[in-house]
Amino acid sequence: MGHWTSRRHVWKERAVNTRYLEEFLVIADELNFSAAAKRLYTTRPTLSEHLAELEDELGCKLVERGRGKPALTPLGRRFLGTASDLLGQWDEVVDEYRDLSDNLLTVTVSATNLPWLEAPLLRARHRIAEKWPEGKIDIVTDNGPLATVDALGERKNDIVVVGCKNFSEAGHRLLTKEHPGFVLNAETTHLFMAEDNPLFGRDTIHATDLDGAVLLLPPDVHQSYERDGVADRFAANGARVTLKTMPFRDHAEYFAHDFGCAIGVAPGTLVPRFGLDRRPGLRLFDLDDMDFSTDFIAVFRDEFVESPHGRVLFDEMKAAVAQGEPGA
């Protein structure tokens, strides 16, 4: 058993383990090596060897072994209480971590998904705590920029949020046995532009006004827009648009980018979080003749949902969303 012995993290090998402490307590109780060995289902030479290693580790004699009956030294008598306390503390540690192992569920989600997952996750955790006080849920955020179904297959995330345009069935087909999930909410995805854009002062904006425009998107959003045929949807409404992306690390970096004449997208959930409706030099707008609503779907890693604790969280999150509970 090893032990960190200094602030410089110098590793020192330890020969002693908790078994040696248990053996010492039995030797002290029996004061007879043969009887102690029988009680511990081991051999007398093994007991003697372990005791010698324990004494060497402590740098003192614990048991006098002369011609007569073994006897505890003064330090041996003192060590009786120490060994008993150490074993008691270790038993408490073992019980604590076995309990944590049995009742702890760790959930990893992308930081970019938290705006949609935070409320149902916290509500589900609260519901679980009410029903099973011993249950513990640890929510871990991954700072990676991508939050796609690929992150489930790579086991980077346990839950991802996928946006699916209301005019596309492609995204909704993600919900399969392999990728269980449910719809979190439906909301308008607004467009936005900087004041450099010639459309900035236009009162009403139609789809055709964006003919030739560039839609600059985060990487995961770009992937979903390609999947849902957003460019084709614009084309059907008289506008040829180009979908482009850059390696934005998170929402904050995306919204802080200099868009120039490009068009950005802002789901309704993110507008108040980033103050987009109050930001000088930036205009949010919706197309007068083209609906741009998005269904946001929570998709889970199948192995996560198949685990007993993961299934409970899945069911509680789904129930909280379906019932429209506060905070969900």
Q: Which two tokens stand for residue 135?
A: 């249950």
pLDDT digits (tens, 9 = 90+) for 278-295: 999 999 999 999 988 999
Contact 155, 302 (CB under 8 A): no
Summarize the confidence of residues 42-53 as an average pLDDT.
93
* Least confident interval from 99-103, 114-118, 213-217, 305-309: 99-103
Name every residue whose Cβ is closer than 8 Å to that of residue 293 and which is 6 or more positions away in sequence.
165, 166, 186, 187, 188, 189
Q: Which residue has the higher pLDDT, 10 or 53?
A: 53
Q: Which residue has the higher pLDDT, 156 or 29?
A: 29
Summarize the confidence of residues 28-52 as an average pLDDT.
92
Averaged pLDDT score across all residues of the chain:
87
CATH 3.40.190.290 location in the chain: 105-322
Query: What 8-state DSSP symbol labels residue 263?
Result: B
Summarize the confidence of residues 103-110 as an average pLDDT.
86
Give residue 32's pLDDT: 92
Give residue 65's pLDDT: 85
pLDDT over threshold 90, residue 93 = no
Band (pLDDT 50/70/90 cuts) for residue 14 is low
Percent of the chain scored above 70 by pLDDT? 90
Pairing assessment for the beta strands 136-142 and 104-110 based on DSSP bridges: parallel
Band (pLDDT 50/70/90 cuts) for residue 159 is very high
Alpha-carbon Rg for the chain in angstroms: 32
pLDDT over threshold 70, residue 147 = no
Q: Which residue has the higher pLDDT, 4 or 194?
A: 194
pLDDT over threshold 50, residue 130 = yes
CATH 1.10.10.10 location in the chain: 2-72
Summarize the confidence of residues 220-238 as an average pLDDT.
93
pLDDT over threshold 70, residue 328 = no
121-130 — which CB contacts under 8 Å span 24+ positions? 121/317, 122/327, 123/316, 123/317, 123/320, 123/325, 123/326, 123/327, 123/328, 124/313, 124/316, 124/317, 124/320, 124/328, 125/313, 127/316, 127/319, 127/320, 128/312, 128/313, 128/316
Q: Which residue has the higher pLDDT, 162 or 104?
A: 162
* Burial call 186-214: b when 16+ CB within 10 Å, e when fewer: ebebbbbbbeebeeeeeeebebebbeebb
Q: What is the CATH number of domain 2-72?
A: 1.10.10.10
Percent of the chain scored above 90 by pLDDT? 65
Summarize the confidence of residues 71-95 as an average pLDDT.
91
Give residue 308's pLDDT: 85
Give residue 4's pLDDT: 30
Identify the sign of the CA torsion 149, 153, 157, 158.
positive
Band (pLDDT 50/70/90 cuts) for residue 146 is low
Which range in 11-15, 96-100, 149-153, 283-287 is most confidently predicted, on average pLDDT? 283-287
Q: Which residue has the higher pLDDT, 4 or 65?
A: 65
Band (pLDDT 50/70/90 cuts) for residue 5 is very low
* Burial call 276-304: b when 16+ CB within 10 Å, e when fewer: beeeeebbebebeebebebbbbbbbbeeb
pLDDT over threshold 90, residue 100 = no
Write out the CATH class of domain 105-322. alpha beta
